[in-house]
Chains A and B, each alone.
Chain A
């Protein structure tokens, strides 16, 4: 075999590299313009019939929220079962996210996805980057049952970009039998050196910067100035050695470690409080003096989806009444369904404690709703600097 000489090899490399450069130079704007075009509403009559759609949904999702009936769903969630019964469980492909930063990053680079499940603070970025298009709520029979408070928050410029579904709180979950009650007063519990090696914060940049902001007394946790970001970063660097680890996966890392006693204090959403209590641990969910964090998330429709009607069917299978009731009883998250009766919630005491019947609780005076961060890239880089420090 004749060997390629060095000159030819380098010439081929230069040619291909030049092609990459020319091809890459247009990449920053081409993706945006294509998805902006797709974001314009196409009349229903001009859309292909559902039978003509490919039918394989690609979904960007948090672990645990897979549709009922799929092999991936191991938490016992029923939502999505009507969809998998009608269209088959093998028609769904899930790509996972473990924090809000990944939701935007993967949506833009690993897609295109038909459906994405970000939280509300990411919604403006999803819209501005042309990643999503408005839903046609006339195709969602259960949409009328959704709480108007959350429905409005899922709108941008009057268009329904997000179908709200789940909401809840974030705080510190701790072992009530290991932690001195006098220490459990606020977010500073995670900074208490007495519990060094028994703490685990979430590896989520935006949330940790918010926690640091609240601990420092900044109420503008989502609109911090550069100097405040620097201060929040420094306080997180101070806290870093106290962590056993930063968890990324709730079910694979945080809950097993908490259950086994490896950690006593962890950043958690309220479902972990319920799970660990049911596991027989003496646990408490901190009501910080600075206020808990709150959040809500929902479903967004990919701007380049070829499964417009399938996507609507999928989301309907999650927002119907039975699905919402079952999700609440499983995770003790609130849902956007306003028709859930207190008698349908199994643990009334827990429901009252968490106020899960009232989604406006996420904006109560002692709660901080996680919202869009105009300087989120700076928050993310600051968090990476904490991790590298």
Chain B
């Protein structure tokens, strides 16, 4: 019993207790402002959920759209990479995978800042365009940075390798005899991919989608560094309420909303993941 309790207690302490604390803050049962008294209140909840024209609710929905788009794009970008590793790279696949992942062992903050150097008005891309004569000197493509594009690009870059991992695991463990059987039965390469490889890789695709979806919903670093005034995400509002205002109650409402949404998404997409990614089930097997 004790050996079972200890790791479970760790999960409870690390996961459940912070959520309970945030919940208490959101209802005013705890306050961070010295000298004020805690008092139960649902005013912040009703303001966020039903207040007319509440800007944070609008930002929430906008952020969810951005998150879904970035997650979908990351999956689309990661699939070819995973396919290459599983079917083309051969015995070098783990070496290539390591090379792809190596930059991501550095600080996330530094990698985002590096994109500033690439995308700035005087950055690598604009400078190259000027040098090549493709644009008049001094006329930069200004939407490259501090825009929705730059935020989406940085998030895409940050997550593609990690999305590729679960897809690669599934593809790498695919029973190749099924592919041979499809060929033997007259299926072309595209048909084999669409009717055998892709369906069997869906659990990996779903896992990869969830891998990027959940952290992106709370993302605030990339919008802060490369985003403009209109490309901040819901995570930025949460971060700002806790660091720039004393209103932890409202910040907790926003944070708890995000937790609830993430749990719903986990429940929705978890159904598609299920089972062991290293043992993809053949249809009808």
Chain-A contact segment, one of B11-19, B186-194, B208-216: B11-19
B230-263: contact bitstring with A at CB < 8 Å (1 yes, 0 no)?
Answer: 1010001100111111110010000000000000
Give the distance in Å from the alpha carbon of A243 to the alpha carbon of B242 in the complex.
24
Chain A residue numbers with a CB within 8 Å of B16 are 13, 16-17
B1-19: contact bitstring with A at CB < 8 Å (1 yes, 0 no)?
Answer: 1011100110011001100
A151-174: contact bitstring with B at CB < 8 Å (1 yes, 0 no)?
Answer: 000000000000000000000000
Chain B residue numbers with a CB within 8 Å of A27 are 30-32
Known: A21-B29, A101-B245, A262-B120. A388 touches B59 (CB 8 A): yes
Chain-A contact segment, one of B84-92, B221-229, B276-284: B221-229
Within 8 Å of chain A (Cβ to Cβ): is B24?
Answer: yes
For B225, the closest partner residue in chain A by CB is A253
Q: Are B24 and A16 interface neighbours, CB within 8 A? A: no
Give the distance in Å from the alpha carbon of A9 to the alpha carbon of B15 in the complex.
13
B259 to chain A, nearest CB (A): 14
Chain B residue numbers with a CB within 8 Å of A104 are 246
Q: Are B243 and A106 interface neighbours, CB within 8 A? A: yes
Within 8 Å of chain A (Cβ to Cβ): is B80?
Answer: no
Chain A residue numbers with a CB within 8 Å of B8 are 4, 8-9, 12
B193 to chain A, nearest CB (A): 40
Interchain CB contact (< 8 A) of A28 among B21, B30, B243: B30
Interchain CB contact (< 8 A) of B34 among A129, A240, A381, A387: A129
Q: Are A16 and B35 interface neighbours, CB within 8 A? A: no
Q: Are A384 and B232 interface neighbours, CB within 8 A? A: no
Q: Are A260 and B120 interface neighbours, CB within 8 A? A: yes
Q: Are A35 and B34 interface neighbours, CB within 8 A? A: yes
Known: A377-B247, A384-B241. A240 touches B30 (CB 8 A): no
Q: Would you list which residues of chain A between 115 and 132 have a CB under 8 Å from chain B?
A: 128-131
Within 8 Å of chain B (Cβ to Cβ): is A2?
Answer: yes
B66 to chain A, nearest CB (A): 14
Chain B residue numbers with a CB within 8 Å of A248 are 224
For A1, the closest partner residue in chain B by CB is B3
How many chain B residues touch A (CB < 8 A): the figure is 51
Known: A17-B17, A29-B37, A381-B250. A1 touches B4 (CB 8 A): yes
Within 8 Å of chain A (Cβ to Cβ): is B45?
Answer: no
Q: Are B29 and A24 interface neighbours, CB within 8 A? A: yes
Give the distance in Å from the alpha carbon of A210 to the alpha carbon of B38 in the complex.
31
Q: Are A108 and B32 interface neighbours, CB within 8 A? A: yes
B131 to chain A, nearest CB (A): 16
Interchain CB contact (< 8 A) of A380 among B29, B30, B56, B245: B245
Chain B residue numbers with a CB within 8 Å of A381 are 245, 247, 250
Give the distance in Å from the alpha carbon of A8 to the alpha carbon of B245 in the complex.
39
Q: Are A16 and B13 interface neighbours, CB within 8 A? A: yes
Q: Would you list which residues of chain A between 1 and 35 have a CB under 8 Å from chain B?
A: 1-4, 8-9, 12-13, 16-17, 20-21, 24-25, 27-29, 31-32, 35
Q: Are B20 and A105 interface neighbours, CB within 8 A? A: no
Chain A residue numbers with a CB within 8 Å of B243 are 101-102, 105-106
Q: Are A243 and B34 interface neighbours, CB within 8 A? A: no
Q: Are A240 and B244 interface neighbours, CB within 8 A? A: no
Chain A residue numbers with a CB within 8 Å of B52 are none
Q: Are B4 and A2 interface neighbours, CB within 8 A? A: yes
Chain A residue numbers with a CB within 8 Å of B29 are 21, 24-25
For A260, the closest partner residue in chain B by CB is B122
Give the distance in Å from the alpha carbon of A28 to the alpha carbon of B248 in the complex.
12
B75 to chain A, nearest CB (A): 28
Chain B residue numbers with a CB within 8 Å of A129 are 33-35
Chain B residue numbers with a CB within 8 Å of A25 are 29-30, 38
Chain A residue numbers with a CB within 8 Å of B229 are 240-241, 243, 245-246, 387
Q: Which residues of B contact A (CB under 8 A)?
A: 1, 3-5, 8-9, 12-13, 16-17, 20-21, 24, 29-38, 55-56, 58-59, 120-122, 138, 142, 145-146, 224, 227-230, 232, 236-237, 240-247, 250
Given A102-B243, A240-B230, 14 more A-B residue pairs with CB atoms under 8 Å apart are: A3-B4, A4-B1, A17-B16, A20-B24, A25-B38, A29-B37, A108-B33, A129-B34, A246-B229, A262-B122, A262-B142, A377-B247, A387-B237, A388-B56
Q: Which residues of A contact B (CB under 8 A)?
A: 1-4, 8-9, 12-13, 16-17, 20-21, 24-25, 27-29, 31-32, 35, 99, 101-102, 104-106, 108-109, 128-131, 197, 205, 240-241, 243-246, 248, 257, 260-262, 377, 380-381, 384-385, 387-389
List of 8 A-B pairs having minimum Cβ-Cβ separation, nearest first: A388-B55, A32-B34, A380-B245, A24-B30, A17-B20, A101-B244, A129-B34, A245-B146
